[in-house]
Structure 1
Amino acid sequence: MSTIIQSDEVDVLVVGSGAAGSLFAATAAKAGKQVLVLEAGPEKKLSDLQSSQIWARKLKWAGSPVEESGNHKIGQNFNSGFGSGGSAVHHYGVWPRLHENDFNTQSQYGIGFDWPIQYDQLRPFYDRIQKHIGISGDAKAERWRPAADDYPMPALPTLNQGNVIAKGFKAKGLHTAPIPYAVNSVPKGNRQSCIFDGWCDAGCPTGALANPLVTTLAEAKLAGAIVLNNCLVRRVLLNEAGDKATGVEFQNSNGEIFVQKAQVVVLAAFTVQNARLLWLSQHSKHPQGLGNNHDLLGRYLMTHPAHTIWGVFIEETQPHMGLSGGQLICQDGYANKKAMPESYGSYQWLIANACKPNDLLGIATSRADLFGKKLDRFMQQASKHFGTMVGICDDIPSAENRITLSSNKDSSGLALAKAHHDIDPRVAKLTEHMVKEGLEIFKAAGASESWTGPRAGMHIMGGTIMGKTAKDSVCNKYGQLHDVANVFVAGPGLFPSSGAVNPTYTVTALSLMGAEHMLNSWSQLS
Structure 2
Amino acid sequence: MTATDRTPSDRADVCIVGAGPAGGIVAHSLAERGHEVVVLEAGPRVPLEERLERMERHQRPAHDWTDVWDMGGDRDAYSSTGDVDYPLNRTRIKGVGGTTLHWIGYTPRLHPKDFEMESRYGLATDWPISYGDLRPYYAEAESEMGVAGSEDNPFAPPREASFPMEAFPPSHSDSILGEACEELDIDVHSVPQARNSEGYDGRSACVGYGTCTPVCPSGAKYDGSVHVRKAEEAGARVVDRAQVQRLEHGPDGERVEAAVYATPDGTEHRQEARQFVIACGAIETPRLLLLSQSETYPDGLANSSGAVGRYLMDHLLYLVTGQLPEPTGQHQVGFTTSVTHQFYDHEEETPGSFFVGFLNYAGPSPVEAALGDGGWGDDVTTAVGRSYGGHIGTEALVEQLPDPNSRVTLDDSQTDDHGNPVPDVHWTVGDYARATAEKAIQVQRDILSEAGARVDYATPDHSPLSGSHPMGTTRMGEDPAESVVDPRLRTHDLANLSIASSSVFPTGGAMNPTLTIAALSLKAAEHVDAAL
TM-score by length of 1: 0.91
Q: Structure 1 pair 181/5, CA: closer, same or farther in 2 (3 Å)?
A: closer
Does residue 59 of structure 1 match 2:61?
no
Deviation for aligned residue 1:185: 0.9
Amino acid at match of 1:510: L
Does residue 515 of structure 1 match 2:525?
yes
Deviation for aligned residue 1:114: 0.4
* Number of the residue aligned with 2:137: 125
Does residue 216 of structure 1 match 2:230?
no
Q: Structure 1 pair 5/345, CA: closer, same or farther in 2 (3 Å)?
A: same
Post-superposition Cα deviations, 1:249-294, rounded to whole Å, max 9, x if no partner, equal 1000001111111111111111110000000111221111112112
- In 2: Cα distance, 1:60 partner to 1:5 partner: 25
Does residue 143 of structure 1 match 2:150?
no
Q: For 1:436, which of 428, 434, 442 is the aligned residue? A: 442
- In 2: Cα distance, 1:124 partner to 1:7 partner: 34
Deviation for aligned residue 1:154: 0.9
Alignment of 1:6-45 (within 5 A): 6=8, 8-45=10-47
Tell me if structure 1 keeps the 8 A contact 2:351–2:439: no
Tell me if structure 1 keeps the 8 A contact 2:356–2:440: no
**Corresponding residue SS for 1:221:** helix
Tell me if structure 1 keeps the 8 A contact 2:362–2:388: no
Post-superposition Cα deviations, 1:403-425, rounded to whole Å, max 9, x if no partner, equal 11111222211111111112111
- In 1: Cα distance, 2:531 partner to 2:257 partner: 17
* Number of the residue aligned with 1:497: 507
- In 2: Cα distance, 1:397 partner to 1:239 partner: 33
- In 2: Cα distance, 1:423 partner to 1:364 partner: 33
**Corresponding residue SS for 1:49:** helix
* Number of the residue aligned with 1:274: 285
Alignment of 1:409-424 (within 5 A): 409-424=415-430
- In 2: Cα distance, 1:233 partner to 1:37 partner: 11
Q: Structure 1 pair 346/467, CA: closer, same or farther in 2 (3 Å)?
A: same
- In 1: Cα distance, 2:71 partner to 2:353 partner: 29
Deviation for aligned residue 1:205: 2.2
- In 2: Cα distance, 1:15 partner to 1:474 partner: 17
Q: Structure 1 pair 228/356, CA: closer, same or farther in 2 (3 Å)?
A: farther
Alignment of 1:414-493 (within 5 A): 414-454=420-460, 455-458=464-467, 459-493=469-503
Does residue 112 of structure 1 match 2:124?
yes
**Corresponding residue SS for 1:302:** coil
Tell me if structure 2 keeps the 8 A contact 1:159–1:327: yes
Tell me if structure 2 keeps the 8 A contact 1:363–1:382: no
Tell me if structure 2 keeps the 8 A contact 1:74–1:460: no
Tell me if structure 2 keeps the 8 A contact 1:74–1:303: no
- In 1: Cα distance, 2:7 partner to 2:168 partner: 51
- In 1: Cα distance, 2:153 partner to 2:353 partner: 16
* Number of the residue aligned with 2:3: none
- In 2: Cα distance, 1:356 partner to 1:228 partner: 42
- In 2: Cα distance, 1:90 partner to 1:7 partner: 31
Q: For 1:395, which of 397, 400, 404 is the aligned residue? A: 400
Deviation for aligned residue 1:372: 9.4
* Number of the residue aligned with 2:355: 348
- In 2: Cα distance, 1:272 partner to 1:33 partner: 28
Amino acid at match of 1:388: G
Alignment of 1:325-364 (within 5 A): 326-336=336-346, 338=348, 343-354=350-361, 357-358=364-365
- In 2: Cα distance, 1:61 partner to 1:9 partner: 33
Does residue 79 of structure 1 match 2:84?
no
Q: Structure 1 pair 241/117, CA: closer, same or farther in 2 (3 Å)?
A: same
**Corresponding residue SS for 2:270:** strand
Two-structure CA RMSD over aligned residues (Å): 2.4
Tell me if structure 2 keeps the 8 A contact 1:317–1:387: no
- In 2: Cα distance, 1:469 partner to 1:60 partner: 40
Amino acid at match of 2:397: I
Q: For 2:307, which of 296, 301, 304 is the aligned residue? A: 296
Q: Structure 1 pair 331/498, CA: closer, same or farther in 2 (3 Å)?
A: same
Post-superposition Cα deviations, 1:29-63, rounded to whole Å, max 9, x if no partner, equal 11111111111111111111123324853237444
- In 2: Cα distance, 1:114 partner to 1:487 partner: 23
Alignment of 1:219-230 (within 5 A): 219-230=230-241
Structure 1 residues not aligned, in runs of 5+: none
Deviation for aligned residue 1:5: 8.8
- In 2: Cα distance, 1:189 partner to 1:56 partner: 30
Deviation for aligned residue 1:82: 1.4
Tell me if structure 1 keeps the 8 A contact 2:9–2:38: no
Bigger drift between 70-79 and 478-487 goes to 70-79
Structure 2 residues not aligned, in runs of 5+: 1-5
Amino acid at match of 1:238: H
Q: Structure 1 pair 352/364, CA: closer, same or farther in 2 (3 Å)?
A: farther
Tell me if structure 2 keeps the 8 A contact 1:79–1:87: yes
- Tell me how many residue pairs correspond in the alignment: 505
Tell me if structure 1 keeps the 8 A contact 2:490–2:498: yes
**Corresponding residue SS for 1:123:** helix
Tell me if structure 2 keeps the 8 A contact 1:73–1:422: no
TM-score by length of 2: 0.90
Q: For 1:237, which of 236, 245, 248 is the aligned residue? A: 248
**Corresponding residue SS for 1:303:** coil
- In 2: Cα distance, 1:221 partner to 1:117 partner: 31
Post-superposition Cα deviations, 1:139-160, rounded to whole Å, max 9, x if no partner, equal 1x21111001221211101121
Tell me if structure 2 keeps the 8 A contact 1:363–1:383: no
- In 1: Cα distance, 2:429 partner to 2:311 partner: 12
Deviation for aligned residue 1:21: 0.6
Deviation for aligned residue 1:355: 5.6
Q: Structure 1 pair 131/497, CA: closer, same or farther in 2 (3 Å)?
A: same
Identical aligned residues as a percent: 29
Q: Structure 1 pair 432/372, CA: closer, same or farther in 2 (3 Å)?
A: farther
